[in-house]
Amino acid sequence: MDTGPESSAPDNPRKQLFDAFIEHFCSVNSHQGVFPKKCRTCGKEYENLHHYIGDTESKAQTMEDVGEIMGKSFTMVYRNCSCGNTLVVTITDEIMPQITEFWEALRLEAEISGHSLKHIVTSFVEEWENDINSQLSRIRKNTRF
Ligand SMILES: [Zn+2]
């Protein structure tokens, strides 16, 4: 990895870790079958993961690794549609090869920081939302709808 002079935040390794995984999650957009996702209650369609994370509300339980129950890599993301309906997106290692690495990194981060895994996951999702919102506001500035 090239660490140029612009990597001015070595004091915040968690943000760097999160940013790297946010990029991997955003590659999910190119996989068929995950998106578009349609809300069965109100009919709203989410074109991609950006749209989904950016336009839904976070729930108390945001992401869960249910791999042990499923017997394979299996992550569930829970978000509320603007109508209140819960929309679940499932991510396997076929969709995102780095998903196992992601959970290992978050578990390690929880252990090192002394926080619960849930706390780390919530911080990750918040960082992801912030990232998408800042990207969306950049797009809105440059595009007329
Ligand atoms: Zn809806």
pLDDT digits (tens, 9 = 90+) for 81-97: 999 999 999 999 999 99
Rounded distance between C-alpha atoms, residue 45 and residue 40, angstroms: 9
**How much is the pLDDT for 1?**
52
Cα 5 to ligand 1 centroid, rounded to whole Å: 45
Cα 8 to ligand 1 centroid, rounded to whole Å: 41
- Mean pLDDT value of segment 46-55: 90
Extended beta strands in 22-125, E state:
37-38, 45-46, 57-65, 75-80, 86-91
Tens of pLDDT, residue by residue over 26-46, are 888 777 788 899 999 999 999
Range of the domain at 32: 17-132
> Vertex 119, ends 117 and 120: CA angle to 5°?
65
Read off the pLDDT band of 115 (50, 70, 90): very high
Cα 26 to ligand 1 centroid, rounded to whole Å: 22
- Mean pLDDT value of segment 39-66: 92
27 occurs within a structural domain:
yes
Q: Give how many domains the chain has, as a whole number.
A: 1
137 occurs within a structural domain:
no
Cα 80 to ligand 1 centroid, rounded to whole Å: 8
Cα 14 to ligand 1 centroid, rounded to whole Å: 33
In the predicted model, is pLDDT for residue 9 greater than 50? no
